[in-house]
Amino acid sequence: MSKNTFWVTMIFVAAIVGALMGPALAQSLSTGAMLTFSAVTLVAIIGLIIWSLSSNKSGKKADTATLADARTMRAPEGKARIYVTRRGFVAALQGMNITLDETARGQIKSGQMLMADVEPGTHRLHAAMAKGLMANAGTIELEVGAGEVVVIDAMFEMSALKGDAKLTRLEGARARENVGATKLILWEVAPG
């Protein structure tokens, strides 16, 4: 069982326990205490959502021709092509900052991807959540040759108190599926 599956299951169990025990707890509190508790909880939840999304950037979507070229999954002559895709629902709306070779920078949310045509050789990808206080960054080194196409899945894997930005190389049908199912976002600072 993956970390994400475990924590989704725990949240589901907690929701059921809360639904069963909530009415009994509500009856034991006075109306004023219950209203105060509800208001404080609602404000805290809204504040957490606003805080976690406050570092998001609205990435510029690629035009139709660039997207069509990306979907071919073919590198230009003498170059290699690297895709970074992000899918899934854990922290889906929070931006993930992606850095390629410490110069190119972009941010993607779930359902989005970045694409870079690079020179053959070794390249380093770094991923970190936009609000990374409770999240560990992920890094992967890639050795690519001319004409090679590499698809990297960037996901956020949750644990009890922290999470990890995880980068995984995809192959075959899964790689094609991720590229086909995500929107192409342009880099803020394009690869050199």
Alpha-carbon gap, residue 131 to 95, rounded angstroms = 8
Mean per-residue pLDDT of the chain? 85
Confidence of residue 93 (pLDDT cuts 50, 70, 90): low
Amino acid at 97: N
Helices (H), the chain: 3-28, 31-53, 64-72, 172-181
Confidence of residue 54 (pLDDT cuts 50, 70, 90): low
Task: Pick the more confident residue, 158 or 104.
Answer: 104
Are the beta carbons of 70 and 62 closer than 8 angstroms?
A: yes
Asked whether residue 39 carries a pLDDT value surpassing 90, the answer given is: no
For the sheet with 80-86, list strands across it: 135-136, 163-170, 149-158, 80-86, 112-118, 183-184
Are the beta carbons of 178 and 84 closer than 8 angstroms?
A: no
* pLDDT single digits (tens) 97-123: 899 998 999 988 889 999 999 999 999
CA 74 from chain centre, in angstroms, equals 24
Angle in degrees, 0-180, between the axes of helices 64-72 and 172-181, rounded to the nearest 10: 170
Asked whether residue 94 carries a pLDDT value surpassing 70, the answer given is: yes
- In sequence order, the 6+-apart residues with CB closer than 8 A to the CB of 150 are 80, 81, 82, 83, 142, 144, 169
Q: Other C-beta atoms within 10 Å of 166: how many? A: 16
pLDDT computed for residue 160 by the predictor = 64
Alpha-carbon gap, residue 135 to 137, rounded angstroms = 6
pLDDT computed for residue 125 by the predictor = 93
pLDDT computed for residue 53 by the predictor = 66
Q: Other C-beta atoms within 10 Å of 20: how many? A: 9
Alpha-carbon gap, residue 53 to 84, rounded angstroms = 21
pLDDT computed for residue 112 by the predictor = 92
Straight-line distance from the first to the last Cα atom of the chain, in angstroms, rounded to the nearest whole number:
40
Asked whether residue 136 carries a pLDDT value surpassing 90, the answer given is: no
pTM of structure: 0.74
Asked whether residue 161 carries a pLDDT value surpassing 70, the answer given is: no
CA–CA distances in Å: residue 177 to residues 6, 73, 174: 25, 11, 5
pLDDT computed for residue 158 by the predictor = 72
pLDDT computed for residue 115 by the predictor = 95
Confidence of residue 56 (pLDDT cuts 50, 70, 90): low
Asked whether residue 9 carries a pLDDT value surpassing 80, the answer given is: yes
pLDDT computed for residue 71 by the predictor = 92
**DSSP 8-state assignment for residue 185:** B
